[in-house]
Structure 1
Amino acid sequence: MTPAISLWAGHDTVTVDALTERVQAAADLGIPGVWVPQTAALDTLTALAVVADRVPDIAVGSAVVPIQGRHPIALALQALTLADVAGADRVTLGIGVTHKPVSEGWFGIPYADVVGLAAETLEVLEALLAPERTAAVEGEHLTARITLGMPVAPPGMVVAALGPKMLDLAGRHSDGTVTWMTGPVALERDVVPRLASAAETAGRRAPRVIVGLPVCVTDDVAGARERLAPMMAGPVHMDSYRRMVEAEGIADPVDLVVLGDEDTVAARIEGLADAGATELLANVVGEPGERLRTLDLLARLTRSS
């Protein structure tokens, strides 16, 4: 079984026109969705509102917008406005608690009780994206007392969750999770069961499990590994990603790359579905020719699924 396939728009799209071109290219290939990170360049949700209007019939999502620095009322208004522009069933709001260097370095917000902040934020967002659009939350981290006047089809919502506490929150309050640096072993053993259990307890439907990984179709596996090693080594300096690599039981983070010829990559993608992934968020990497081969394979897998 092949999971749904979407594409990572990348950190290098620093203008709305560049992002539009990237999303249009994905739509032209028949890829059903794209995900855009929040960086120090574009405001992701604002840019996606423009792109969704310019490029119809492709799903768009944020992977992810940090909750630090954004009150959930403002975040809900942004997400609902984007959903209004895009139309029903096209938008997923992906949020997360980012990392300590970003939280404390960029925003000056302590990381000590980030799970508590996430819990209150999700409580507000879940309420404001529900049909009543009403939140009444007075917590330790924030207050939200409001009813929104936006009768539009709401976006979906997923949470970047890797550890057990965040997975519990994601399962209880959202449609699922979006991961990074997380392979099939950790997915099947740790992520999916915890998330599914929390969703079931909360009476929610089976959760989305969106798995972000680099993908590269190549005949030069050794050369590709050498080229990609620095990219994969960088995130391991973050505690959450280091734990995921350790949980996977691999010595080198480059082992997480979905890498090889067409048959090998297709088999590994199927393996992610077997581990519980409902969607592969493919970060297409490699040399130009390798990227073209990778996109061609992903498009063919999409057409055949």
Structure 2
Amino acid sequence: MRRGLGPIGIWSIELRTGDPHEISDAAAELDELGWGTLWIPGLGGGDVLGDSARLLRATRTAKVAVGVASIWRHQPAETAAGHTRLQNAFGRRHLLGLGVSDPAAARGAGRPYRPLADMGAYLDVLDRAPVPVPPEERFMAALGPKMTELAGRRTAGVHPFMVTPEYSAAARERLGDGPLIAPYQAVVLEGEAGKARTAAREFLDVFLGMDHYARSLFRQGFTEEDLAGGGSDRLIDSVVAWGDAETIGKRVRAHHQAGADHVCLHVVGAGSAMPRSVWRELAPLVRAGS
């Protein structure tokens, strides 16, 4: 098991936004199938810790991770207290992910955008809480080198979005052996290239227009041309794993071989319903330790 998360997990919007009864039922099944960690996004804020609690109640062994909560939308003292309640109630199975979002999120909170300084200040409050949030129970959605280094110093590690195995290798070189690297990996269970890439582009389109993600992709060696028109085939194939379960497993193994500890899979292109049949089809990857 890699750092207690398991080698592979599920990242799901539907586990936050779906019908509460189906969420609980699906989480219990994912736990039984052996998925080490269930990840839910921060989205636009809201009661993400309450949504974590629902998943923790429905599971026995899986960890639950917030991937990630915006520091502009969640007050640090309240976040620390809520995280402590979950840890006490559910056997310390909760992980708190934090991110600086983008300048628009900071403006919405009436704040200037000073990502490094404000993340550091947020972590300071978590450290000074009546019950501090231990560094090993928090991580960051770091992409740039300075934020990655901050994560390595003050949290368990990094949970990067829209990255390649080469990024995982570079992050491991920068962070050294200790910190956690748990990349997000979008997947499309579809063997026909046109259909798979169309599904990937429909999902990634909004992110390719965001400056902080664009800068990350440029650092990874992609060009303006790669980001245009919904993303070049080279870009899509590099940041989205598509094909059958075996092919997706190869991408997961590539991240592990590059130095990642855990890879969380986000099924895209399956429509708006809970993609339970796809999760079941991918479950052999858990048993194989991919």
TM-score under structure 1 length normalisation: 0.79
Residue 194 (structure 1) aligns with: 174
Residue 258 (structure 1) aligns with: 241
Which deviates further from its counterpart, 153-162 or 77-86?
Answer: 153-162
**Aligned partners of 1:162, 1:37: CA distance in 2, in Å?**
16
Of 82, 99, 102, which residue of structure 2 is paired with 1:99? 102
Residue 302 (structure 1) aligns with: 286
Question: Percent of aligned pairs with the same residue?
Answer: 26
Amino acid at match of 2:11: W
User: Cα gap change, 1:38/1:66 in structure 2, threshold over 3 Å: closer, same or farther?
Assistant: same
Of 176, 199, 208, which residue of structure 2 is paired with 1:227? 199
**Aligned partners of 1:166, 1:152: CA distance in 2, in Å?**
19
1:1-305 correspondence runs (5 A): 4-10=7-13, 13-14=16-17, 16-40=20-44, 42-88=46-92, 90-104=93-107, 106-111=108-113, 113-125=114-126, 127=127, 135=128, 148=130, 150=131, 156-189=137-170, 191-196=171-176, 206-250=178-222, 251=226, 252=232, 253-255=235-237, 256-287=239-270, 294-305=278-289
**What is the CA distance between 1:153 and its match in structure 2?**
9.0
Amino acid at match of 1:118: M
Which deviates further from its counterpart, 206-215 or 241-250?
Answer: 241-250
- The answer (yes or no) to whether the contact 1:103–1:109 under 8 Å persists in 2 is yes
**Aligned partners of 2:181, 2:160: CA distance in 1, in Å?**
8
**Aligned partners of 1:93, 1:77: CA distance in 2, in Å?**
12
SS of match in other structure, 1:13: helix
Summarize deviations over 1:134-190 as a string: whole Å, max 9, x none.
Answer: x2xxxxxxxxxx6x2x5999971111101111111100110011110111122222x
**Aligned partners of 1:152, 1:240: CA distance in 2, in Å?**
27
**Aligned partners of 2:45, 2:151: CA distance in 1, in Å?**
27
Summarize deviations over 1:60-110 as a string: whole Å, max 9, x none.
Answer: 01011111143322221111111112113x111111111122221x32222
**Aligned partners of 2:189, 2:101: CA distance in 1, in Å?**
30
**Aligned partners of 2:196, 2:167: CA distance in 1, in Å?**
24
**Aligned partners of 2:15, 2:58: CA distance in 1, in Å?**
20
Could you tell me which runs of 5 or more consecutive residues in structure 1 were left unpaired when the two chains were aligned. Answer: 128-134, 136-145, 201-205
User: Cα gap change, 1:214/1:167 in structure 2, threshold over 3 Å: closer, same or farther?
Assistant: same
**What is the CA distance between 1:293 and its match in structure 2?**
6.8
Which deviates further from its counterpart, 211-220 or 292-301?
Answer: 292-301
**Aligned partners of 1:121, 1:282: CA distance in 2, in Å?**
28
**Aligned partners of 2:43, 2:33: CA distance in 1, in Å?**
26
- The answer (yes or no) to whether the contact 2:7–2:261 under 8 Å persists in 1 is yes
SS of match in other structure, 1:179: coil
User: Cα gap change, 1:26/1:234 in structure 2, threshold over 3 Å: closer, same or farther?
Assistant: same
Could you tell me which runs of 5 or more consecutive residues in structure 2 were left unpaired when the two chains were aligned. Answer: 227-231
Residue 141 (structure 1) aligns with: none
Instruction: Considering fraction of residues, name the structure with more strand.
Output: 1
**Aligned partners of 1:42, 1:61: CA distance in 2, in Å?**
16
User: Cα gap change, 1:226/1:51 in structure 2, threshold over 3 Å: closer, same or farther?
Assistant: closer
- The answer (yes or no) to whether the contact 1:83–1:155 under 8 Å persists in 2 is no
- The answer (yes or no) to whether the contact 2:191–2:242 under 8 Å persists in 1 is no
TM-score under structure 2 length normalisation: 0.83
**Aligned partners of 2:27, 2:242: CA distance in 1, in Å?**
24
Amino acid at match of 1:7: I
**What is the CA distance between 1:225 and its match in structure 2?**
0.5
User: Cα gap change, 1:293/1:175 in structure 2, threshold over 3 Å: closer, same or farther?
Assistant: same
User: Cα gap change, 1:293/1:23 in structure 2, threshold over 3 Å: closer, same or farther?
Assistant: closer
**What is the CA distance between 1:192 and its match in structure 2?**
2.3
**Aligned partners of 2:133, 2:217: CA distance in 1, in Å?**
40
Aligned Cα RMSD in Å?
2.8
- The answer (yes or no) to whether the contact 2:16–2:51 under 8 Å persists in 1 is no
Amino acid at match of 2:77: I
- The answer (yes or no) to whether the contact 1:91–1:155 under 8 Å persists in 2 is no
